[in-house]
C-alpha cells in the first residue's frame, strides 16, 4: 500500500514532497526534482532542503500556506506557494505529511513585468510635455502633471474621480469640449480655450486601448496655443493683404476712370477756346443778318437771348 501510494505521488504532475513528523524526507517526486535540481539522494530532511534553496530570512517560517522564492541547483530562482496535506501513517506507524507546491513563477514574473511597465510608464508620463488622461468604465484612473497644468487642475486631484466629477472641475469651455471624448462620441476635440491668463488653447485626441482588466480610454492633450495664435496671425495677415489688394484695385479703377474722363474734358476744353474764337468772328455777321428779327432762333434760343448766353456757355466750358 505504501509503495503504491508513493508511486502515484512520484508521477503527480505537480511538485510533492513526503516526509514524516521528524522532517525526514521519504519522497521527492520527479516534478519537484526536475524543477529544483534536488532529488531524493541530495537531501535527507526538510531542514537540509530549506538550507539549500530557501533564503536564510525565510528558513524559520513554516512552509505551510506561505509563498517564497527558492534557489535551484543551477542558480536560477522560482516562486513556489506551499501547502501541507496530512495523509495518515506509514505501515511502521510514522505520520505521513505531503508538502505540495504550486509553481507561481510565471505569475509572479508577469506581475513584476506589469509593475515594471507601470513604473516605466508612470516615470515617462510624468516628464512628458504631452498631457495624458486614462479612464475606464466612467472613472479617471490617471492624470499626469502635464494634463493638470494644461487644464489648470490642482496636483493629484484627478485619480479616482468619476469622469463626470472630473469634468466638473474643468473650465466650462474645456468640459464642454471633452464630454464627447469621454463618452466615446468623438475621437478628437478642439482646439478649445482654457480659462487662464494668458488664454491657452488645448487639443485632445482619444484612443481606446485594450487591456486585460478592461478597455481604457487614453486621452492625450496637446498645447495648441502657438499653432492657434500663428493661425490667427496668418488669418489677420491674409485679411490685411486682401484689403490692401482691394484698395490697390480700387485705386487703379479710379485712376482709369479719371483718365477716361480727363481725355474728353481736355478735348472739350481746347475746342471750347476754338469755338469761342469762332463765335466772336461769327456773331457780328449774325447780328447784322438778324438785327431786325431778334426773335429768330439760333441753337434753339431767340437771337436776343443767344447773343449774351452763348459767350457765357463757352466761357463756362473753357473754365471747367
pLDDT tens, residue by residue, 64-107: 888 889 999 999 999 999 998 887 787 778 888 889 999 999 88
pLDDT at 71: 92
Instruction: With CA atoms as reference, report the closest residue to 191 among 174, 207, 175.
Output: 174
More confident residue, 307 or 15: 15
pLDDT at 77: 92
Q: What is the mean pLDDT of residues 232-261?
A: 80
Residue 286 clears pLDDT 80, i.e. is over it: no
Over the range 152-168, which residues count as b (16 or more CB within 10 Å of their CB) and which as e? ebeeeebeebebeebbe
pLDDT at 186: 65
Look over the chain and give the mean of its residue pLDDT values, rounded to a whole number.
82
Q: 157-166: long-range contacts (C-beta < 8 A, 24 or more apart)? A: 158/133, 162/138, 163/135, 163/138, 163/139, 164/138, 166/140
Residue 200 clears pLDDT 70, i.e. is over it: yes
Instruction: Mean pLDDT check: name the lowest of 134-138, 200-204, 234-238, 262-266.
Output: 262-266
> Within a 10 A sphere around the Cβ of 94, how many other Cβ atoms?
14
Residue 154 clears pLDDT 90, i.e. is over it: no
**CA–CA distance, 245 with 241 (Å, rounded to integer):** 6
Residue 292 clears pLDDT 70, i.e. is over it: no
CA atoms within 13 A on the CB side of 215: 7
Q: What SS3 state is found at 200?
A: strand
Share of the chain above pLDDT 70, in %: 93
What residues have CB less than 8 Å from 319, skipping those under 6 apart? Answer: none
**CA–CA distance, 97 with 87 (Å, rounded to integer):** 6
What is the pLDDT confidence band of residue 164, given thresholds at 50, 70 and 90?
confident
Residue 196 is placed in which grid cell?
487662464
More confident residue, 5 or 206: 206
Pairing of strands 67-71, 25-28: unpaired
Residue 199 is placed in which grid cell?
488664454
Residue carrying the nine cell digits 487591456: 211
Residue 238 is placed in which grid cell?
491674409
pLDDT at 102: 92
56-60, 197-201, 265-269, 298-302: which has the highest mean pLDDT?
56-60
What residues have CB less than 8 Å from 99, skipping those under 6 apart? Answer: 16, 17, 18, 19, 46, 63, 64, 82, 83, 84, 85
How big is the chain, counted in residues?
A: 320
Residue 244 clears pLDDT 80, i.e. is over it: yes
pLDDT at 158: 74
pTM: 0.51
**CA–CA distance, 189 with 263 (Å, rounded to integer):** 62
Q: What is the mean pLDDT of residues 15-39?
A: 90
> Within a 10 A sphere around the Cβ of 124, how many other Cβ atoms?
11
Residue 289 is placed in which grid cell?
443778318
Q: What is the mean pLDDT of residues 161-176?
A: 83
Whether the Cβ atoms of residue 7 and residue 95 lie closer than 8 Å to each other:
no
Q: In 252-310, which ranges are E strands?
A: 297-298, 301-302
Instruction: Mean pLDDT check: name the lowest of 145-149, 187-191, 255-259.
Output: 255-259
More confident residue, 74 or 259: 74
**CA–CA distance, 69 with 75 (Å, rounded to integer):** 12
pLDDT at 35: 92
**CA–CA distance, 297 with 290 (Å, rounded to integer):** 10
Amino acid at each position: 500500500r505504501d509503495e503504491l501510494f508513493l508511486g502515484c505521488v512520484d508521477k503527480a504532475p505537480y511538485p510533492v514532497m513526503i516526509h514524516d513528523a521528524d522532517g525526514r524526507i521519504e519522497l521527492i517526486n520527479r516534478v519537484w526534482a526536475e524543477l529544483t535540481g534536488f532529488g531524493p539522494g541530495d537531501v535527507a530532511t526538510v531542514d537540509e532542503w530549506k538550507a539549500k534553496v530557501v533564503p536564510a530570512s525565510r528558513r524559520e517560517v513554516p512552509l505551510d500556506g506561505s509563498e517564497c522564492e527558492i534557489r535551484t541547483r543551477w542558480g536560477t530562482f522560482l516562486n513556489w506557494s506551499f501547502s501541507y496535506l496530512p495523509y495518515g501513517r506509514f505501515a511502521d506507524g510514522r505520520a505521513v505529511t505531503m508538502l505540495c507546491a504550486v509553481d507561481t513563477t510565471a505569475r509572479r514574473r508577469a506581475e513584476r513585468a506589469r509593475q515594471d511597465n507601470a513604473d516605466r510608464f508612470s516615470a515617462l508620463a510624468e516628464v512628458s510635455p504631452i498631457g495624458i488622461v486614462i479612464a475606464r468604465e466612467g472613472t479617471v484612473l490617471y492624470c499626469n502633471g502635464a494634463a493638470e497644468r494644461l487644464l489648470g487642475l490642482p496636483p493629484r486631484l484627478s485619480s479616482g474621480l468619476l469622469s463626470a466629477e472630473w469634468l466638473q472641475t474643468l473650465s466650462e469651455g474645456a468640459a464642454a469640449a471633452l464630454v464627447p471624448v469621454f463618452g466615446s462620441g468623438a475621437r478628437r476635440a478642439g482646439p478649445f480655450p482654457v480659462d487662464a491668463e494668458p488664454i491657452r488653447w488645448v487639443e485632445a485626441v482619444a484612443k481606446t486601448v485594450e487591456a486585460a482588466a478592461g478597455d481604457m480610454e487614453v486621452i492625450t492633450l496637446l498645447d495648441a496655443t502657438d499653432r492657434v495664435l500663428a493661425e490667427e496671425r496668418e488669418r489677420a495677415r491674409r485679411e490685411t493683404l486682401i484689403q490692401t489688394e482691394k484698395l490697390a484695385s480700387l485705386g487703379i479703377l479710379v485712376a482709369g476712370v479719371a483718365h477716361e474722363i480727363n481725355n474728353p474734358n481736355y478735348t472739350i476744353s481746347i475746342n471750347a477756346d476754338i469755338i469761342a474764337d469762332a463765335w466772336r468772328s461769327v456773331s457780328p455777321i449774325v447780328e447784322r443778318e438778324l438785327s431786325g428779327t431778334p426773335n429768330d432762333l439760333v441753337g434753339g434760343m431767340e437771337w436776343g437771348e443767344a447773343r449774351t448766353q452763348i459767350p457765357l456757355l463757352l466761357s463756362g466750358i473753357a473754365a471747367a
